[in-house]
């Protein structure tokens, strides 16, 4: 086991017993939602995963230790600390560990630590991707590169619609990452069920998802698999309405010179403000929806 990694007793017992485990990120706690909704949502997501037959493993860096499985107190700590905690991607891990610092894990770092621990399925909200204007800024999320090299299935509600979805799909194709639509032929766009862009494959059951990912692992193909699971119909937002808010938020970010890792938290907060909180409600529901699918898929994968 990696000497910097701590696996909680519950998660370790599940892994040792061949039981299903689902990884969860912690940036959504520190940077994705305000306190106390962030902590309430994180604990509800863990509860949902248990109710659907798997063990949750929320992942973070605390005191320089890579943690696979957090206690409720540790989740509360991250939630209260909020944006004071470093938003940690791959590049941040060596320094945070060496300094004994805290870090909330993005999709990329959650995948890394999950793979170290032996966890194969990860549920999140949405992945990062190619930002609008990346042809001049080169602002491309490390999440995409991690999907290309780390063998973890990532279940999400698509790429965040603050991104350039077409270029994000092109990047994933170049890196050989399968983009699967769960029960859909179209890439969901986080707050909405449709984007106008197609996926590589449509699969309709957790059994199909688990079988495809096992085949990938058995063949020794590097990298992960991206499963895009549309937000439930009743919580899906009107595309024109949410895209208008996104466009306004992007223009403000550009005017203020906001770049890099500060971009997504700023845009999500601004969109929440512009939609009167509707976007945050949608965000919570899509995360719960992804947690349910991840638990079911992990349970099947554990039996294969």
Three state DSSP letters for 211-263: HHHHHHHHCCCCCCEEEECCCCHHHCCCHHHHHHHHHHHHHHHHHHCCCHHHH
Mean pLDDT within 222-248? 90
What domain count does the chain have?
A: 1
Give the least confident one: 3-7, 73-77, 127-131, 266-270: 266-270
CA angle 94, 99, 102 (to 5 degrees): 85
| pLDDT > 70 fraction of the chain, expressed in percent and rounded | 98
Mean pLDDT within 68-75? 98
Res 277 pLDDT > 90: no
Residue 157 near residue 124, CB atoms below 8 Å = no
Q: Within 10 A of 251 (CB to CB), how many other CB atoms are there?
A: 10
Q: pLDDT of 155-214, one tens digit each?
A: 999 987 778 899 999 999 999 999 999 999 999 998 899 899 999 999 999 999 999 999
Chain centroid offset of residue 254 CA: 25
Classify residue 69 by its DSSP letter: S
Cis peptide leading into 51, omega within 30 of 0? Answer: no
Res 279 pLDDT > 90: no
Mean pLDDT within 255-279? 76
> CA-to-CA distance for 21 and 143, rounded, in angstroms?
21
Give the least confident one: 28-32, 161-165, 300-304: 161-165
Residue 34 CB-density burial (10 A; 0-12 exposed, 13-18 middle, 19+ buried): exposed
Domain range spanning residue 99? 5-303
Residue entry with tokens 């983009």? 179
223: left (phi over 0), alpha (psi -120 to 50) or beta: left
Res 241 pLDDT > 90: no
Quick one: angle between helices 206-218 and 278-303, nearest 10? 60
Res 1 pLDDT > 70: no
- pLDDT band of residue 247 (cuts 50, 70, 90) is confident
Q: pLDDT of 90-110, one tens digit each?
A: 999 999 999 999 999 999 999
Mean pLDDT score across all residues of the chain: 92
Residue 138 pLDDT: 81
> CA-to-CA distance for 111 and 109, rounded, in angstroms?
5
Res 278 pLDDT > 70: yes
Catalytic residue from among 25, 46, 74, 146: 25
Task: Take residue 222 and report the two structure tokens written for it.
Answer: 């590097």
Which CATH number do you get for residue 195?
3.40.1790.10
Is 160 in the active site? yes
CB-based burial, 181-202: b 16+ in 10 Å, e otherwise: bbebebbbbbbbbebebebeee
Catalytic residue from among 87, 120, 160, 272: 160
> CA-to-CA distance for 12 and 270, rounded, in angstroms?
39
């Amino acid at each position: 086991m990696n000497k910097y990694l701590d696996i909680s007793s519950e998660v370790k017992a599940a892994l040792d017993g061949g039981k299903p485990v689902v990884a969860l990120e912690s940036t959504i706690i520190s940077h994705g939602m305000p306190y106390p909704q962030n902590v309430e949502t994180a604990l509800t997501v863990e509860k949902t995963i248990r109710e659907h037959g798997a063990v949750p493993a929320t992942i973070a860096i605390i005191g320089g230790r890579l943690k696979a499985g957090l206690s409720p107190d540790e989740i509360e700590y991250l939630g209260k600390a909020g944006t004071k905690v470093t938003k940690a991607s791959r590049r941040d891990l060596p320094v945070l560990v060496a300094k004994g610092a805290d870090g909330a894990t993005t999709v990329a770092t959650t995948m890394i630590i999950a793979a170290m621990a032996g966890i194969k399925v990860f549920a999140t909200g949405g992945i990062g991707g190619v930002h609008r204007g990346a042809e001049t800024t080169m602002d491309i999320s490390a999440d995409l590169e991690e999907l290309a090299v780390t063998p973890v299935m990532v279940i999400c509600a698509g790429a965040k619609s603050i991104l350039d979805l077409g270029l994000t799909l092109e990047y994933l194709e170049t890196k050989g990452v399968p983009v699967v639509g769960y029960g859909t032929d179209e890439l969901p766009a986080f707050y909405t069920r449709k984007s106008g862009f197609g996926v590589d494959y449509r699969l309709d059951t957790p059994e199909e998802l688990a079988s495809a990912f096992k085949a990938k692992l058995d063949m020794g193909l590097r990298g992960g698999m991206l499963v895009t699971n549309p937000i439930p119909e009743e919580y899906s937002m009107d595309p024109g309405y949410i895209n208008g808010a996104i466009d306004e938020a992007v223009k403000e970010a550009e005017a203020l010179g906001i770049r890099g890792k500060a971009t997504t938290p700023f845009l999500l907060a601004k969109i929440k403000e512009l939609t009167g909180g509707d976007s945050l409600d949608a965000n919570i529901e899509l995360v719960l929806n992804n947690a349910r699918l991840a638990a079911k898929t992990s349970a099947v994968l554990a039996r294969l």
